[in-house]
Amino acid sequence: MKKNHNWPELNFVELQETLETLHQWIQIVGKIRLRTMPWQNHSWHTALYITARGFSTHAIPYQRQIIELEFDFKQHKLLIRSSEAGNSSIELQPKTVADFYNELFDKLNAMGIDVKIHSSPNEIEPAIPFAENTVNRSYDPKAANTIWQAMLKANNVFNHFRTDFIGKCSPVHLFWGAFDLAVTRFSGNPAPLHPGGMPNMPLEVMQEAYSQEVSSAGFWPGSKDFPTPIFYAYAYPSPEGFAEQDVKPNQAFFSQEMGEFMLKYDDVRNAENPEETLYDFLQTTYEAAVNISDWNRKKLERQL
């Protein structure tokens, strides 16, 4: 089978230590965006975005200026930009989370940017305060670049998938809580209160995020407890019979434990046409959710 080598190989064992450190670092930067951005529904104001060089907060209004923080995985720097106070940067290299945290806030303070964040991670166990975390300290430039390249490939397909839906839809964005790239479609109908259950995540945040019926899909690079990068798709509330629906490609499967369809990253990467394979997964899992949930597809989709 022909392989498209523009999709990078993701060997979780080789990526793990860098991924775990980077997860902490993007939480710190994401929390700065959380505290400075005007609130947007479903916590959209908290997310990061994929760029041509890495992960970015995009423009953040701060007092009478705009600030932006971007992880640049080509230069391996965290770039700190301000429309009024100039620019600064931090070298991305092996260093503890505590050192990264202190260095970043020293740089911000020197630029006259005063931001206070909740200084412990969310959706991570154990939730060691950032300023005390000397456990996570690994940074391999090749591994970081590879993680970004995989996110970049997924981001492009997700944005293409998003175009045919004219109802309410999230941006394609990177949630730093779980370190997943996601895109979510909404039916416009209210949903039952979410029961919560994510570690170190306030219940009211979860309930607002899932206050409406959704069909959501994403990419997750894995964790030590599930060391397999995957694409996923789920619905909330999950309609009866969702797990039994036919989806593409054949390698996709339903996880009863997680309540969602999954497709291994390697099955996409090794396909003859990875982009088409991933698009089929996104489209068929969306149809699996909405066809048995009675969404008004004529109203919500662009009719071609």
CB 271 within 8 A of CB 5: no
**Res. 294 pLDDT band, cuts 50 70 90:** confident
Query: What's the mean pLDDT when you consider all of the chain?
Result: 96
Examine the pLDDT at 2 and tell me if it is beyond 70.
no
pLDDT digits (tens, 9 = 90+) for 100-136: 999 999 999 999 999 999 999 999 999 999 999 999 9
> Using CA atoms, how far apart are residues 229 and 212, in angstroms rounded to an integer?
28
Please write the tens of the pLDDT for every residue from 67-89. Answer: 999 999 999 999 999 999 999 99
Q: Is the pTM of this model over 0.85?
A: yes
- CA dihedral defined by 32, 123, 21, 56, rounded to 10 degrees? -40
Q: In this predicted structure, what is the pLDDT of residue 1?
A: 42
Confidence of residue 303 (pLDDT cuts 50, 70, 90): confident
304 — pLDDT class (breaks 50, 70, 90) = low
Cα–Cα distances in angstroms (integers) from residue 160 to residues 66, 152, 174, 269, 291, in the given order = 29, 13, 16, 18, 21
Tell me the per-residue pLDDT of 214-261, one tens digit each, with 9 for 90 and over. Answer: 999 999 999 999 999 999 999 999 999 999 999 999 999 999 999 999
Show me where the domains of the chain are located.
Answer: 12-132, 141-300
